[in-house]
């Protein structure tokens, strides 16, 4: 059986990279639900492949705000053809290439910002050459102060797979209208084996998008290529 690992930026690192950045086309608005009363924006996923330049309503994504459910659904469905098929589009999902400023030094896989996972172009090519599946890197529009700076791509990591119910707290069922289902990340996560994808070696969890999960194939390649500065924790399945 394939093993799965939680990938994070380590607590101690020799890299100093920092970003002051946003995604070009903004984001889906937050959602204000009249059914359950929640106002929320739960996404940690960005879709850097999305190009809203031909969308007449593109300015409606630029200003963060809570929107009523019907307006949120309208704006979500307008961008659905512009993101990968089957993409989860939660309130707050960001759209377009990453733009802004970057300072400091960056590891080959830079997961300090789970919503903005970065990879050096050379590291991405080496992982792909090792047979790692499903890695898609997109150019960023980041400005550096220093002349000699790395070429950073943003990984588009889609939400797929879930935590197993045995590791999440008892709570009311999700809102039938907006799907709001808040809970804190469990200290000892367990993955729901039946929900895990079989076609990609790197993904997020649909119910906890800040958790980046890699397969044994990816982790073996990361270790073999010495792409240091990734905290790797094996997770049980159930």
pLDDT at 205 over 80: yes
From residue 199, alpha-carbon distances to 118, 133, 160, 169 in Å are 21, 7, 11, 30
- Mean pLDDT along residues 125-142: 97
At 130 the pLDDT is 97
pLDDT at 146 over 90: no
Closest CA to 117 of 169, 50, 47: 47
Give the residues across from 30 on adjacent strands.
Answer: 66
User: Domain extents for the chain?
Assistant: 22-95
Torsion of CA 112, 116, 120, 121, to 10 degrees: 170
At 214 the pLDDT is 98
- Mean pLDDT along residues 135-152: 92
Tell me the three state secondary structure of residue 27.
strand
Kindly indicate the confidence band of residue 82, based on its pLDDT and cuts at 50, 70 and 90: very high
At 14 the pLDDT is 93
Q: How many residues comprise the chain?
A: 238
pLDDT at 228 over 90: no
From residue 158, alpha-carbon distances to 69, 93, 134, 171, 209 in Å are 23, 11, 10, 26, 9
């Amino acid at each position: 059986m394939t093993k799965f690992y939680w990938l994070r930026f380590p607590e101690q690192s020799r890299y100093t990279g920092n970003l002051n950045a946003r995604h070009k086309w903004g984001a889906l608005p937050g959602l204000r639900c009249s059914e359950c009363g929640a106002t929320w924006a739960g996404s940690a996923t960005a879709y850097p492949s999305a190009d809203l330049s031909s969308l007449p309503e593109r300015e409606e994504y630029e200003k963060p705000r809570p929107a009523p459910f019907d307006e949120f659904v309208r704006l979500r469905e307008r961008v659905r053809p512009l993101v990968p098929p089957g993409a989860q589009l939660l309130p707050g999902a960001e759209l377009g290439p990453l733009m802004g400023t970057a300072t400091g030094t960056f590891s080959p896989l830079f997961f300090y910002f789970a919503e903005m996972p970065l990879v050096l172009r050379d590291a991405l090519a080496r992982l792909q050459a090792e047979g790692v599946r499903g890695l898609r890197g997109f150019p960023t529009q980041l400005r550096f102060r220093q002349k000699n700076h790395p070429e950073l791509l943003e990984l588009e990591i889609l939400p797929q797979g879930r935590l197993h119910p045995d590791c999440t707290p008892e709570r009311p069922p999700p809102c039938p209208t907006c799907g709001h289902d808040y809970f804190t990340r469990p200290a000892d996560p367990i993955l729901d084996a039946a929900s895990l994808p079989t076609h990609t070696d790197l993904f997020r969890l649909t119910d906890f998008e800040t958790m980046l999960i890699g397969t044994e194939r990816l982790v073996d390649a990361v270790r073999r290529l010495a792409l240091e500065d990734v905290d790797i924790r094996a997770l049980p399945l159930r």
